[in-house]
């Protein structure tokens, strides 16, 4: 898939699912391409994200996956903003770990766009992890759905040599970041979807990189942090 030039979504008036019903296939794909033009023509990506969308609607009736407000901006705020992260993914990255995956944003979406990556969707809550496993099967992806936590005081269940870590709606304190650093590959990237404030008290070996603004907001951005050799 060709990576987006600017990683920005485009707002559309009809981007929300109609009240009381789901978008049909053609409408879902049209709105997704409008919000994330780089997805145009990528049939495998469109099919995978539509499969995720169907599972999300089915599971949301019984599992808390996204809030009521989020459903109104599902394509723009979740799918398109997740795809924006492609601009910051190193082309030669091999292993990506998405911490606190929840409903699969951004990890599942990035896995669908970059099938060359070995992707771990890390989610400690069992029912959300079950959803991720179901969506992965429906989309014919090979993601690992992992029950793990990043803790300074406990052995990590994460793999080693991680090239990219993604975080959205999850904050890690400095001790946890220090523990995470031990499992990152040289020159690894930490990509954080968030607001005006970035990570505070960065540990030695992690430095700020690029900041990518997200469309439709004055403060939502993706912040890049780069692993470097500590001095």
| 25-227 has CATH 3.30.70.100 classification | no
Task: Answer yes or no: are the C-beta atoms of 215 and 6 closer than 8 Å.
Answer: no
Q: What is the rounded distance in angstroms from the CA atom of residue 122 to the CA atom of residue 86?
A: 19
Question: 156 exposed, middle or buried (CB, 10 Å; 0-12, 13-18, 19+)?
Answer: middle
Domain ranges of the chain: 25-227
5-19, 50-64, 217-231: the lowest-pLDDT one: 5-19
pTM: 0.88
What is the tens place of the pLDDT at every residue in 156-176?
Answer: 789 999 999 999 988 888 999
């Amino acid at each position: 898939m060709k990576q987006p030039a600017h990683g920005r979504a485009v707002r559309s008036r009809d981007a929300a699912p109609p009240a009381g019903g789901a978008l049909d296939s053609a409408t879902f794909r049209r709105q997704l391409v409008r919000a994330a033009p780089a997805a145009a023509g990528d049939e495998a990506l469109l099919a995978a994200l539509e499969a995720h969308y169907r599972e999300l609607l089915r599971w949301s009736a019984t599992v808390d996956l996204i809030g009521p407000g989020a459903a109104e901006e599902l394509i723009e705020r979740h799918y398109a903003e997740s795809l924006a992260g492609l601009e910051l993914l190193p082309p030669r990255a091999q292993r990506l770990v998405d911490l606190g995956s929840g409903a699969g944003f951004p990890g599942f979406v990035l896995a669908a766009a970059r099938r060359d990556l070995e992707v771990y969707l890390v989610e400690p809550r069992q029912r959300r992890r079950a959803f991720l496993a179901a969506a992965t099967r429906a989309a014919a992806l090979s993601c690992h759905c992992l029950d793990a936590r990043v803790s300074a005081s406990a052995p990590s269940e994460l793999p080693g040599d991680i090239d990219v870590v993604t975080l959205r709606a999850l904050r890690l304190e400095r001790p946890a970041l220090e523990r995470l650093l031990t499992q990152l590959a040289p020159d690894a990237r930490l990509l954080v979807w968030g607001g005006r404030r970035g990570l505070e008290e960065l540990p030695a070996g992690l430095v700020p990189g690029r900041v990518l603004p997200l469309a439709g907001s004055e403060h939502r951005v993706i912040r890049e942090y780069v692993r470097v050799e500590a001095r």
